[in-house]
Structure 1
Amino acid sequence: MDYREVEGAREFVARLEHGRDWRGQIEDFAESEGIDAAFFFGLGAVQDAVLSFYDQDDKEYRDIEFDEPLEVVPAVGNISWLNDERFAHTHVALSRDDGTTVAGHLDRATTFAGELYVREFDTELVREHDDVTDLDLWPL
C-alpha cells in the first residue's frame, strides 16, 4: 500500500443547484475555491443518472443509464487533478421508489436536490496512468 499523511484544511457545506449536473457542480466548486485535493460526502436526489462500471478484464468503462427519479444514499468521492483539470471521482448508491438500489461510478446526473460536505487537504493530488489497472490513480 502506498500512502502519505495529509492534514485537513478548509471544510465546506454546500447545497447543489437544481437542474445542474451533480459531479460537474463539485468540479466547478473545486475550481472556484482552488481545491487541489479533498474528500466529500453528498446526499439528495437526482432526476436521472449515468453510472459506469469498470470491466477489469477488458479494462474499459461500461455506461448504465437510468432515466428515473433516484435518491442519493449517499455519494462519496474525492477531488484531485486529472489531465490538467480538477476531477471529482464520485461513487454513488441510488435508491429507486421500490427501495431497490443501483450503484457505481457516477458519470453524470441531473440534480433534483443535493447537500454536500467537503474537506480539503493541504496537498495536491494529481492522477497518473497506472499500467496494471489501465486507470488514472494517485501516485503516492
Structure 2
Amino acid sequence: MQYQEVDTSREFLLRLETGADWRTEIEEFAALEDIDAAWFGAMGAVQDAEVWFYDQEDMEYRSVTFEEPLEVAACVGNVSFLDGERFAHTHAVLSRPSGQSLAGHLNAATVFAGEVYLRAFEEPLEREHDETTDLDLWL
C-alpha cells in the first residue's frame, strides 16, 4: 500500500455547461483555478456517454458508447497530473429511464445538467505508469 497525507485548501461548487464535455469541464476548471489535485463528487444528466471498462486480462480499456439521454446517478473522481496535463479520472453510475444502471470509467459525455462538489488539495498528485496493472496510478 502507498499513501500520503493531504491537506485540503479550497472547496468549490460547479455547474457544468449544457452541451460541454463532462470531464473536460472539470479539467478546464482545475486549470482555471490552478488546482493540481482534488477529489470530486457529482450528479446530473448527460445526452450521451462513452464509458470504459478495463479488461484486467488483456490490460486495455474497452469502450462502450451510449447515444441516449442518461441520468448521472453518481459520479466520483479525482484530479491529478497525467503526462504533464491535468486529468479528471472520472467514474460514474448512469441510469436509463427503465432504472437499468450502466457504470464504469466515464471517458466522455455531453452535459445536459451537471453539479459538482470539488475539494482541492495542497499537495500535487502525479500519475505514473504501474507495471503490474499497466495503468497510470497515483504515486
Give me the TM-score of the superposition, normalised by structure 2.
0.99
The residue that corresponds to 1:59 in the other structure is: 59
User: AA paired with 1:51?
Assistant: V
Is 2:133 the partner of 1:133? Answer: yes
| 1:58 CA drift (Å) | 0.4
Count of aligned pairs between the two proteins: 139
Show CA shifts across 1:46-96 (max 9, x none): 000000000001000000010100000111000000011000000000010
Taking only aligned residues, the RMSD between alpha carbons, in angstroms, comes to 0.4
Show CA shifts across 1:20-70 (max 9, x none): 000000000001111010000011000000000000010000000101000
The residue that corresponds to 2:69 in the other structure is: 69
User: AA paired with 1:72?
Assistant: V
The residue that corresponds to 1:15 in the other structure is: 15
> Where does 1:39-118 land on structure 2 (aligned, <5 Å)?
39-118=39-118
Q: Distance in 1 between matches of 2:34 and 2:13?
A: 16
Unaligned runs of 5+ in 2: none
Taking only the aligned residue pairs, the percentage that are identical comes to 60
Show CA shifts across 1:89-117 (max 9, x none): 00000010000100000010000000000
Local SS of the residue matching 2:29: helix
Give me the TM-score of the superposition, normalised by structure 1.
0.98
Unaligned runs of 5+ in 1: none
